[in-house]
Amino acid sequence: MTTKKGSDNGSLDYRFISTDDHIIEPSDVWKDRLEARYRDAAPHLVEENQTEYWQFEDQRVPNSGLSVMAGKRFEDYSPKAVRYADMRPGCYDPQARLADMDADGIEAEVCFPTVPGMAGTLFANAKDQALALRCLQAYNDWLADTWCATDRRRLIGQVIVPLWDVQRAAAELERGVRLGLKALSFPNAPETLGLPGLADPHWDPLWDAVEAAGVPVSLHIASGALRGSLPLDPGAGAPAEVFITVAPTTNFTVIATLLFSGVLEKHPRLRFLSVEGGIGWLPYLIQRADETFHKHRHWTNPRISQPPSVYFRRQIFANFLDDPVGVDCRHRIGIDNLMFETDYPHSDTTFPRSREVAARVFHNVAADEARKMLRDNAIRFFGLEAQA
């Protein structure tokens, strides 16, 4: 029986593990890692009218201010382009990142890319696929031998793969794991990139490689779905608040697809993490999916043999930040399936008050349950080395 409650910071006397944070890549990632013929077209920083842009082939994208809001007041939030000189060093410098993690009580963090897209989507539709492959490989190399090498126990990297070639994707996944990367970052809706959807057998060679490697797959919100829709400009299309509010719900359809598609039955060792989608909506999704299965399986010819909740508990996991509703419903979801995140340095981040947020959210949670969600589940899920 669990009786001890995680009622204040004194009871959370351990460091947390964040399962979603972001790297704002420094300008030299690709500079010295590619053959001369690729360097001009590879991602590189350019400046025009006092604004810095990342350019790849003929695409030019600035660093959004909302991606680098860690430590700033809400009153200072803005999507306007931000120069590296105006960013917090922890955004792009691994030593500074470790210092910010120390200040926030974070032992280890799982890192997502920015310039390549959260799942390598920048390269998915490149005009020059040979260039895109080399850029992607160079990124995985840099992630392993520079960023993560600063402290391999604390900075956890994820492989990105050439999405346009499933056999090459499987090979790059295997190579990335040999480099020490701990997961695959994959688009949550590849069909929005002109690729087969998650349920398509097209991806079976990649899922086979993932199962063999024993690593999980991260599905970050808006890494495929919602791309280019609901702009943050309040004068164009839906209000910015709509995008920010509904972005987590993109993973609702993603998880439902995984549950009913047969992918999880066909690949029983696959594990997927729903990233930055929160968890408050998961009990309804699980209940609704089971209800659908029981009522409609007699005419839908389902691709699964058991209720969706069975596959969810076995193979679907989710993380959250400040989500007291979800934590209140944790037993309906499954405590072993839930993990904490800080989303550094994005605008949703709990930095530098992650311990304060956790003390509030886990106020009435048994101490052993809080520790699972704040730390132990992530260690098991990503196969991490962590201090006691």
Can you give the pLDDT at residue 240?
84
Kindly state whether residue 72 falls inside one of the protein's structural domains.
no
Can you give the pLDDT at residue 248?
87
Rg (the chain; Cα; Å): 20
Kindly state whether residue 343 falls inside one of the protein's structural domains.
yes
Can you give the pLDDT at residue 5?
53
Phi, psi of 136 (to 5 degrees): -65, -45
pLDDT value at 275 more than 50: yes
CA angle 59, 60, 61 (to 5 degrees): 120
Can you give the pLDDT at residue 291?
98
Can you give the pLDDT at residue 388?
55
| DSSP per residue, 93-145 | -HHHHHHHHHHHTEEEEEEE-STT-TTSGGGTT-S-HHHHHHHHHHHHHHIII
Taking CA atoms, 190 is separated from 25, 248, 321, in Å, by: 23, 16, 25
CATH of the domain at 292: 3.20.20.140
Can you give the pLDDT at residue 123?
95
Give pLDDT tens digits for 81-120: 999 999 999 999 999 999 999 999 999 999 999 999 999 9
Kindly state whether residue 297 falls inside one of the protein's structural domains.
yes
Can you give the pLDDT at residue 239?
82
Kindly state whether residue 57 falls inside one of the protein's structural domains.
no
The encoded tokens of residue 384 equal 């991490």
pLDDT value at 173 more than 90: yes
pLDDT value at 360 more than 50: yes
pLDDT band at 386 (very low <50, low <70, confident <90, very high): low
The encoded tokens of residue 201 equal 């057998």
Percent of the chain scoring above 70 in pLDDT: 93
d(CA 7, CA 152): 32
- Note down the domain range covering 230: 9-24+91-382
Lowest mean pLDDT among 122-126, 228-232, 256-260: 228-232
d(CA 343, CA 357): 13
pLDDT value at 48 more than 60: yes
Kindly state whether residue 256 falls inside one of the protein's structural domains.
yes
- Neighbouring C-beta atoms of residue 165, cutoff 10 Å: 14
Lowest mean pLDDT among 100-104, 132-136, 235-239, 303-307: 235-239
Whether this model's pTM surpasses 0.85: yes
d(CA 6, CA 13): 10
d(CA 143, CA 149): 8
324-349 core/surface letters (b: 16 or more CB in 10 A; e: else): bebbebbeebbbbbbbbbbbbbbbbb
Task: Note whether 281 and 296 are within 8 A (CB).
Answer: no
Q: Mean pLDDT throughout 328-355?
A: 98
Q: Mean pLDDT throughout 293-318?
A: 97
d(CA 247, CA 189): 13
Can you give the pLDDT at residue 242?
85
Can you give the pLDDT at residue 3?
43
Give pLDDT tens digits for 201-247: 999 999 999 999 999 999 999 897 444 444 555 455 668 888 888 88
pLDDT value at 349 more than 50: yes
Q: Mean pLDDT throughout 124-149?
A: 97
Can you give the pLDDT at residue 236?
55
Total domains, the chain: 1
Give pLDDT tens digits for 178-198: 999 999 999 999 999 999 999
Can you give the pLDDT at residue 165?
98
Q: Mean pLDDT throughout 40-56?
A: 94
Task: Note whether 146 and 184 are within 8 A (CB).
Answer: no
- Short-list 161, 229, 220, CA closest to 195: 161
d(CA 138, CA 123): 12
Kindly state whether residue 61 falls inside one of the protein's structural domains.
no
The secondary structure element, H or E, covering residue 184 is strand 183-187
Considering 52-66, 170-184, 217-231, the range whose residues carry the highest mean pLDDT is: 170-184
pLDDT value at 2 more than 50: no
d(CA 145, CA 132): 20
pLDDT value at 9 more than 50: no
